[in-house]
Copies of this chain bind each other. A is one copy, B any other.
Amino acid sequence: MATKYSRQREQIKAYLYSCKDHPTADNVYSAMRRQFPNISLGTVYRNLTLLARQGEITKLSLGDGGDRFDYDTSPHYHFVCRQCGSVTDFPLAADELSSSFTNLSFDGKIEGQVTYFYGICASCLHNAGPGEK
């Protein structure tokens, strides 16, 4: 259970911290193969899961496609483009949403909330103009 050092995990973390986007496990795998040609996809998954469990990164389950991973663990929201699939940070302060439900009649223990927005991103909106695909 004690976590030992591993070059692979170190690089995975470094890669995530260098990313503005929100890569999938497969994106990370592709990037890692440049440095570790023999790295296994399982290794990528294991380390992403471990890092997420330790709170060093966040795992995003945004419906379609694979899960994504975010180096930014501060509370914030995301926007998913229905057309190109891109995931970007959403400029809405996290607690603008999450504050209102403190005293409602719910009998279970509320631990958290998942919220994301979807639609068409700016880039796809502009490219759609003159009828191109």
Residues of chain A whose beta carbon lies under 8 Å from any beta carbon of chain B = 61-64, 79, 81-82, 90-92, 96-97, 100-101, 104-122, 124-125
Q: How many copies does the complex hold?
A: 2
B112 near A114 with CB under 8 A, answer no
Contact B79 A104 (CB under 8 A): no
Say whether chain A's binding surface is mostly helix, strand, loop, or mixed: mixed
Contact with A110, one of B63, B97, B108, B117 (Cβ below 8 angstroms): B117
- Complex-state Cα separation, A62 to B115, whole angstroms: 11
User: Which B residues are in CB contact (< 8 Å) with A104?
Assistant: 91-92
Give CA–CA (A81, B109) in the complex, Å. 9
A106 touches B120 (CB 8 A): no
